[in-house]
């Protein structure tokens, strides 16, 4: 492989790499926040928030919708996780 071709390949790879962003840190007081809720209750809250949207990224409502979506996925079952 020529050095020019290799250089172009590296440029393409570096342009298409996606960053994962900042790691998520959950406060210990926030853990188990939706433990007593059913999946249906969470879906009801999510859909009510969705009707009032769209919400801009970084807003309180946006964060709440993401939390609810995660909780709904967790209540749906993760599958066989070791």
Judged by DSSP in three states, 35 sits in: coil
- The two three-digit tokens of residue 62, written as one number: 């946006």
Express each pLDDT in 22-55 by its tens digit. Answer: 776 778 888 888 888 999 999 999 999 999 978 8
- As for how many domains the chain has, the answer is 1
Residue 7 lies in a domain: no
pTM: 0.61
Residue 10 lies in a domain: no
Backbone φ, ψ for residue 33 (5° rounding): -60, -35
CB-neighbour burial class of residue 17 (10 A; exposed 0-12, middle 13-18, buried 19+): exposed
Q: Give the integer Cα–Cα distance in Å for 60 and 47.
A: 16
Residue 62 lies in a domain: yes
Residue 61 lies in a domain: yes
Q: Give the integer Cα–Cα distance in Å for 39 and 31.
A: 17
pLDDT of residue 78: 72
Q: What integer is the mean pLDDT of 66-73? A: 88
């Amino acid at each position: 492989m020529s050095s020019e071709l290799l250089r172009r390949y590296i440029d393409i790879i570096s342009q298409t790499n996606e960053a994962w962003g900042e790691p998520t840190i959950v406060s210990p007081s926030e853990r188990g926040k939706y433990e007593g809720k059913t999946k249906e209750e969470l879906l009801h809250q999510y859909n009510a928030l969705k009707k009032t949207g769209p919400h801009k990224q970084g807003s309180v409502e946006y964060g709440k919708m993401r939390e609810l979506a995660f909780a709904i996925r967790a209540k749906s079952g993760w599958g066989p996780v070791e």
